[in-house]
Structure 1
Amino acid sequence: MTTTAGRHVRLFRNGRNQAIRIPRELELPGNEAIIRREGANLIIEPLKAVPLRDLLTQWAPLDDAFPDIDDSPPEPVDL
């Protein structure tokens, strides 16, 4: 884990939310993050993306058979 020296930033209001502008050298990857409070500190961590393959292996296989579909596809139309 790398640590950097603290940096003075200003807080501002964005509608009803309090916000902070994150300096470029401290930017997080991606578009989402997790924020939590530990005592008087706020911890902001990038949201770790789960690869689709890993997500699919967590799901239980479906035991249900797909129903038969009585509706046949439409006939082609010459335009």
Structure 2
Amino acid sequence: MEIAFRTHITYLIAHKYGTLGYRNKENFLDETWHSEFINELEKTFTIRRKVNYSLSTIIKITRGSSRFGLR
């Protein structure tokens, strides 16, 4: 449910205010809420970058290892 809600909100913002509309505090009723929203978004981006980096590192290390069934 949470993913569907976030997807819907993202869709609405992008179509009404453009691709980077979420960055403009003028598009939000409450500047404090916008600031908190951006902070949470940055935390999520940071976590995903770390996870993606970790997964790509694991794949590189294990590439060619029959133990993991990779080629």
Same fold (TM over 0.5): no
When Rg is computed on C-alpha atoms for both structures, the one with the higher figure is: 1
More strand by share: 1
More helix by share: 2
- Identify the structure with bigger relative contact order (alpha carbons < 8 Å, sequence gap 6+): 1
